[in-house]
Amino acid sequence: KKEYPNKRTIISSMNYKKYNRIILLSSLIYALAIYLLYILVALIIFKEELFTMKGLIYMLNLLVFDFTSLALALLIANIINNKNAISGIVNVISLGSAFLCGAFIPTKWLPSSVLTFAHIFPSYWYINTNDYLQNLESININSLKVVGLNTLMLFIYFIVFIVLTNIVTKQKRKI
């Protein structure tokens, strides 16, 4: 017998898309609050550096990655019913992608085959922007193309995770 912790939601007349939208928006508000707290701490530590063009791009990159990570978390939570399993899967995905994408080991030391594989993770695009900005001498339209591409990739992941969450929720309601 399969247990569904949200039985009331499943049998309600509320459309699953509307329910997912409410969950997403409320989660985005929470993520935005955490993001703003993080920025506040960064302002205390880095002061003027945050208000440079590089600092603003770093903040934007973090915000987009924050929302993309949230969408992935909602997808995982919709796929898996067991709370303990969710914790394990999130740890494997977050730490695994962090190792493969260059969060712990600089990307210049990673083999090209690992970096090629790392392209499938949103973390790669976030870390790639941070690494690129760290080595950037001056900011102009041409130098922002890389940042724009990485941000676009994160946004595409965000949309894909939301669409997949809706598909999973729809399938679960049929069961």
- Give the SS3 label for residue 4: coil
- Give the SS3 label for residue 138: coil
Q: What is the pLDDT of residue 1?
A: 47
pTM of the predicted protein model? 0.86
For 155-175, write each residue's pLDDT tens digit: 999 999 999 999 998 888 776
| Sign of torsion over alpha carbons 74, 151, 29, 101 | positive
For 24-67, write each residue's pLDDT tens digit: 999 999 999 999 999 999 999 988 888 899 999 999 999 999 99
